[in-house]
Amino acid sequence: MKKSIKNKNNKYLKKLTDFICHKSQEGRKTIEIKQRKRLENESFWIHPVFKGDRLSGINTERRSLKNDTLFPIEIFETVIDSLIEADNNSLNIGTAQKPRIRIGHKGLEVSTIESIIAIKVYNAKPGDSVTRRSHVVANILKAAGICNYENGKLVLIQV
């Protein structure tokens, strides 16, 4: 089954890479990602990071993150794999912004996008706190036409 997941994943990663390369003019231009946030619109900017001709990560500039943050491509691979494996190709985002909430707590169950990123990419464990990354990842995947965001869930669009 892993082989079929990787083949599907490759289609989505190719779509993400094509979106990033096209919008950034092969890395020469910053991309603005618009997101709807409650009553106001807030944007953040992404800069693709290449190793040779391969997209290896996405650097973000967002006011709510303390520093520019590099999102390695493995985060996107992990999220896409998890969505492919999930029932209805959708998973809850998670609520890491609430004070003292930790992996495994209500709202940040191990099956949420936020926890999956923390556990699979950053080797976190249940009970650990997390850095809020899922909304940035979700908005990039949405802008690339790979996912929709519906009622607190990230939903994979079939390719």
Query: Count of residues for the chain?
Result: 159
* Owner of token pair 């650990």: 128
Q: Per residue in 45-61, pLDDT tens? A: 888 888 887 888 888 87
d(CA 104, CA 112): 9
Q: 134: which 2 tokens?
A: 């899922």
Contact predicate 146/16, CB 8 Å: yes
| pTM listed for this prediction | 0.85
Structural domain including 148 reads: 2-156
Residue 157 DSSP symbol: P
Helices 113-120, 73-85: inter-axial angle, 10-degree rounding: 120
For the chain, the domain total comes to: 1
Residue 62 phi, psi dihedral angles, 5° rounding: -145, 135
State CA 125 to chain mean position distance: 19
Tens-digit pLDDT profile for the chain (159 aa)? 333 445 566 899 899 988 988 888 866 678 888 765 544 556 788 888 888 878 888 888 765 555 558 889 999 999 999 999 998 999 998 876 667 788 999 888 999 999 999 999 999 999 998 877 888 899 899 999 999 988 889 999 986
Give the CA count within 13 Å in the CB-facing half-sphere of 45: 9
